[in-house]
Amino acid sequence: MVSAILAKPAPGEHVLVAGGAGYVGSHVAWLLCRLGFRVTVLDDLSTGHRDAVPDHASFIPCDLRDQEQVSGIFMETKPSAVMNFAARSLVGDSYRDPMGYIRHNLMIMTNLAQAAAANGVSSFLLSSTAAIFGTDGTGKISEAWPIHPNNPYGESKVMCEGVLRWLEEACGVHTAALRYFNASGALFCADLGEAHDPETHLIPIVIQAALGRRDHVDMFGADHPTPDGTCIRDYVHVLDLADAHVRALLALRKVGGLRYNVGSGTGYSVKDIIQATEEITGRRIATIVRPRRAGDPATLVACSDRIGRDLGWRPVNSALPTIIRSAWAWHAKHPDGFTGASPLPRPAMMALHA
Please indicate whether residue 153 is annotated as part of the active site: yes
CB 10 within 8 A of CB 47: no
Give DSSP secondary structure letters for 51-84.
GGS-TTSEEEE--TT-HHHHHHHHHHH--SEEEE
CA distance linking residue 121 with residue 81, whole number of Å: 6
Structure-derived torsion over alpha carbons of residues 59, 60, 65, 70, reported in degrees to the nearest 10: -120
CB 326 within 8 A of CB 186: yes
DSSP 147: B
How far from 307 is each of 94, 263, 282, 310, CA to CA, in Å?
29, 10, 37, 5
Helix (H, G, I), strand (E, B) or coil at 40: strand
Sequence letter at residue 335: P
Catalytic residue (one of 23, 95, 101, 153): 153
Catalytic residues: 153
